[in-house]
């Protein structure tokens, strides 16, 4: 909702930038090609991801962060797939956190969300839930409750403890923030040499609460070869392509 008027996400005056991070190579995929460019139902994975945000009225612009050598390739990809909201394609940094900071510098709005380029199955409905939680708290992440029992294991492979899974959530993206808050936390982290595993961790480090908005179990991150056929199955079920086509 709007900070001043309590309007829902997408209400009058709402402005969001989406920073899509696609600068990694993904060695666990075992492919010569960077995983974000692998075909998924006849389009690159990254094209599917960008299309979700490109089609949302709440999104004013998209900043795509990629490897320096892929900047022109990504500009062509956006043009070829009619992705009109891709306002900037910028080279990333050595760590994901550095790439996000570079993307933030190119964003144009007071509110920003950060999303993995290889999560093409996120839904607009989930994105909006994350937006609304961010309006209330200044920072929010998509997440799902953990289904399995989790064990904490020591270096020798012996179980140390069993956390209560009712308090455990698996974190996804997008992660949504008031832009000035995220920029301040990233700047402070850079000065201190701190590198977190995600943007929420950077914000948490400096004492700001981060809310959880419930996402979907289908919002998978395509990381290993096994993820591709599952993603194709899910996407085809939504009408995103035909299961008989190339992955």
The predicted-structure confidence for 84-129, as pLDDT tens digits, reads as follows 999 999 999 989 999 999 999 999 999 999 999 999 999 999 999 9
Look at residue 10 and tell me whether its pLDDT is greater than 50. Answer: no
* Helix, strand, coil content of the chain in percent (nearest 5): 35, 25, 40
> Mean pLDDT lowest for which of 26-30, 55-59, 93-97?
26-30
Q: How far is CA 180 from the centre of its chain?
A: 19
| Closest among 119, 90, 112 to 186, alpha carbons compared | 112
Can you tell me the mean pLDDT for 14-27? 85
Q: Are 121 and 114 in contact (CB under 8 A)?
A: no
- pLDDT classification of 11: cutoffs 50, 70, 90: very low
The CATH homologous superfamily for domain 17-237 is: Spore Coat Polysaccharide Biosynthesis Protein SpsA; Chain A (3.90.550.10)
Instruction: State residue 23's pLDDT score.
Output: 85
What's the whole-model pTM score?
0.89
Can you tell me the mean pLDDT for 63-80? 97
Instruction: State residue 239's pLDDT score.
Output: 82
Domain ranges of the chain: 17-237
Q: How far is CA 4 from CA 76, 183, 215, in A?
A: 39, 21, 26
> Mean pLDDT lowest for which of 32-36, 54-58, 143-147, 185-189?
32-36
Instruction: State residue 247's pLDDT score.
Output: 56
């Amino acid at each position: 909702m709007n900070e001043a008027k309590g309007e829902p996400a997408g209400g009058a005056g709402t402005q969001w930038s989406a920073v899509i991070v696609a600068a990694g190579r993904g060695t666990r995929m075992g492919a010569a090609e960077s995983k974000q460019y692998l075909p998924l139902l006849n389009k690159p994975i990254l094209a599917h991801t960008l299309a979700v945000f490109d089609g949302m009225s709440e999104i004013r612009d998209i900043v795509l962060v990629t490897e320096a050598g892929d900047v022109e390739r990504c500009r062509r990809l956006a043009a070829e797939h009619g992705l009109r909201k891709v306002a900037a394609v910028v080279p990333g940094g050595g760590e994901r956190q550095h790439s996000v900071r570079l993307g933030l510098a190119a964003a144009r709005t007071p509110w920003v969300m950060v999303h993995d380029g290889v999560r093409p199955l996120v839904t607009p409905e989930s994105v909006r839930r994350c937006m609304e939680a961010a309006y209330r708290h200044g920072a929010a992440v998509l997440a799902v409750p953990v289904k399995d029992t989790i064990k904490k294991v020591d270096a020798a492979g012996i179980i140390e403890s069993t956390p209560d899974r009712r308090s455990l959530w698996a974190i996804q993206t997008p992660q949504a923030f008031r832009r000035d808050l995220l920029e301040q936390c990233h700047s402070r982290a850079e000065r201190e040499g701190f590198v977190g595993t995600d943007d929420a961790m950077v914000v948490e480090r400096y004492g700001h609460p981060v809310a959880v908005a419930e996402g979907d179990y289908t919002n998978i991150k395509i990381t290993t070869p096994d993820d591709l056929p599952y993603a194709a199955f899910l996407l085809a079920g939504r009408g995103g392509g035909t299961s008989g086509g190339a992955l």
